[in-house]
Amino acid sequence: QLPGLAFSYATCGYINAFNSYAAAADLQGTTIRVHALDEPPMSYPSRSEDHPIGRGWVWDLYTQIFKSAAVEPRYQDLLPYSGSAWDACVHDVALGQLDTCMGTFWETSERREIVDFVTPFTADNFYLVVMQKPSEKDLWSILVPFAPELWVCIFAVIVCIAGIIYFLEKAAEGPDHPHFHGENCIEGTVESTYLACVGFWSAGVAHESVTPGGRMVTLAFGIFVILTLAGYTANLANFILATKDLEGLYEDVDDVVSSGQKLCMWSSTYSTFVDHRPTISLSSVLLVTSSEQAMDELEAGNCAGVVSSEIENERILKLKANCNKIVVGSPVMTLMLSQPVTAQFSRGLSYGLVNSGSEKAALALKYQNQDECAQPEAAPTKFDIDNFYGTLIITIVATCLGLTIRIVRCSYARYHGKDFVADPNAASNDDAAQEEARGVDEQQRQETF
């Protein structure tokens, strides 16, 4: 005998106790008494055999095991009970009334004292579920889609464009010009800036330019306005729909208890919870028999937190009625998920479950709960200056083109020894006025002679 070592049953000659032949022999040709709990999405007893989706995660898994082992399942009801259907199922298997139950059962120490379980198919972590903190109102949320630097850049572009338009239109200033009737350049620049702001926030151009250069810059400003506001509107919609960082009213179990509030939890898990948190007494706990009851008690304020399993949270917190609740903190405890079974079928069903890994993964994906609280996965980012490089380049190029037109016209007029006239229409009106004046002078000379 080696010190510190012991022999297993397999070493002593029972190495084939769990082979496929032995496991199949336990099941083949037998009738197994089963009760299926109404536990969506694990089991839907009310659904028909030909349901297009299936009858549940656990139901379909066990049906496959029964078929492969040539087992005849016989479904029957529970004995009359009060309290949890899961506890009643465990008791009926312990009494020999049933051979197994379709559902998900936590392997607690109390249950294992009275009944066997098949090989666990997963570990179920328990977390604290609390109410979400109410969202705070942000008075400046209208500015959120753009970064502060981009807002400064937009305002600078508006002011610059306003100044350039006034510079280009200044030569055409006069009674016939729709704008710029001020007595000096300061009043003209202020009026041009006002018109630019009105045009930007009303998604249109407010300037009525008359010079070719001014019209080109006004066109550039219109492009800038439409592209900027389109980006703002789209990003604002994303921010409205985006998921915000959610916070709970409490951080963990100790936070709830220290504040004098109660915890809700399944009665079947209380003893395991106390083993992990011996300082928390029963007076601080409200025992329930279903997750629906726990969430109702939390909503009503009868408890401030629910110690609920990951499997249950995956189902219950995706319902629209519970979108205002959130999981907080680290795992409180862990229990194995399994099904109660009589000793006769324990080895055969355990072997079937161990060898159904691929089927379990496919069924878990098939019966995934629809999330009624779903939000966009990633929060949008604020638009920054680099997101508007294209818009700014178009605006700058068109503005430079407008200034170039002004310079070319000035140079052309000076080359030909003429005075530069900003408004071609005004020049035509001046020529007509001069012709009329010459006609009047000629008529007066004729009358004199």
- Section 297-306 average pLDDT: 96
Summarize the chain as % helix, strand, coil (round to 5). Answer: 50, 15, 35
Q: How far is CA 400 from each of CA 141, 165, 169, 210, rounded to the nearest angstrom?
A: 35, 12, 15, 17
CB 108 within 8 A of CB 270: no
Question: Given this model, what pLDDT does residue 114 score?
Answer: 94
Q: What percent of the chain has pLDDT over 70?
A: 78
Q: What percent of the chain has pLDDT over 90?
A: 39
Q: Look at residue 441 and tell me whether its pLDDT is greater than 90.
A: no
CA dist 379 and 352 (Å) reads 44
CA dist 273 and 306 (Å) reads 12
Give the least confident one: 278-282, 284-288, 381-385, 388-392. Answer: 381-385
CA dist 120 and 337 (Å) reads 5
pTM over 0.85: no
Q: How far is CA 111 from each of CA 81, 88, 114, 289, rounded to the nearest angstrom?
A: 16, 11, 6, 16
Give the angle 183-188-194 at the CA atoms, nearest 5°.
140
Q: Look at residue 175 and tell me whether its pLDDT is greater than 80.
A: no
Q: Tell me, what DSSP letter sits at residue 321?
A: G
Query: Beta partners for 383?
Result: 146
pLDDT classification of 388: cutoffs 50, 70, 90: low
Residue scoring higher pLDDT (124 or 138): 124
CA dist 210 and 138 (Å) reads 44
Question: Given this model, what pLDDT does residue 234 score?
Answer: 83
Q: Look at residue 98 and tell me whether its pLDDT is greater than 70.
A: yes
Give the least confident one: 82-91, 218-227, 290-299, 309-318. Answer: 218-227
Question: Given this model, what pLDDT does residue 413 score?
Answer: 74
Closest residue by Cα to residue 34 from 118, 109, 112, 119: 118
Q: What residues have CB less than 8 Å from 353, skipping those under 6 apart?
A: 61, 65, 118, 119, 121
User: b vs e for 58-86, b when ≥16 Cβ sit within 10 Å of the residue's Cβ?
Assistant: bbbbbbebbeebebebeeeeeeeeeeebb
pLDDT classification of 19: cutoffs 50, 70, 90: low
CA dist 28 and 67 (Å) reads 10
- Section 179-188 average pLDDT: 74
Residue scoring higher pLDDT (246 or 68): 68
CA dist 257 and 281 (Å) reads 10
What's the mean pLDDT when you consider all of the chain? 82
- Section 122-144 average pLDDT: 82
Q: Look at residue 430 and tell me whether its pLDDT is greater than 60.
A: no
pLDDT classification of 89: cutoffs 50, 70, 90: very high
CA dist 295 and 129 (Å) reads 9
Q: Look at residue 87 and tell me whether its pLDDT is greater than 50.
A: yes
Question: Given this model, what pLDDT does residue 384 score?
Answer: 63
pLDDT classification of 211: cutoffs 50, 70, 90: confident
Residue scoring higher pLDDT (368 or 21): 368
Question: Given this model, what pLDDT does residue 146 score?
Answer: 85
- Section 361-377 average pLDDT: 80
Dihedrals phi, psi of 131, to nearest 5 degrees? -75, 145
Residue scoring higher pLDDT (421 or 245): 245
pLDDT classification of 444: cutoffs 50, 70, 90: low
Give the CA radius of gyration of the chain. 41
Estimate the crossing angle of helix 148-169 against helix 212-241, to 10 degrees: 160
CA dist 415 and 413 (Å) reads 5
Question: Given this model, what pLDDT does residue 220 score?
Answer: 87
pLDDT classification of 288: cutoffs 50, 70, 90: very high
CB 327 within 8 A of CB 127: yes
- Other residues' Cβ atoms within 10 Å of the Cβ of residue 33: 18
- Section 341-363 average pLDDT: 87
- Section 197-209 average pLDDT: 84
CB 332 within 8 A of CB 128: yes
Question: Given this model, what pLDDT does residue 139 score?
Answer: 62
CB 281 within 8 A of CB 260: no
Q: Look at residue 194 and tell me whether its pLDDT is greater than 50.
A: yes
- Section 331-348 average pLDDT: 93
Question: Given this model, what pLDDT does residue 1 score?
Answer: 47
Question: Which segments of 132-272 are extended strands (E)?
Answer: 263-266
- Other residues' Cβ atoms within 10 Å of the Cβ of residue 332: 22
| β pairing state of 31-36 and 340-341 | unpaired
- Section 164-185 average pLDDT: 75
pLDDT classification of 446: cutoffs 50, 70, 90: low
- Section 290-317 average pLDDT: 94
Q: Tell me, what DSSP letter sits at residue 8?
A: -
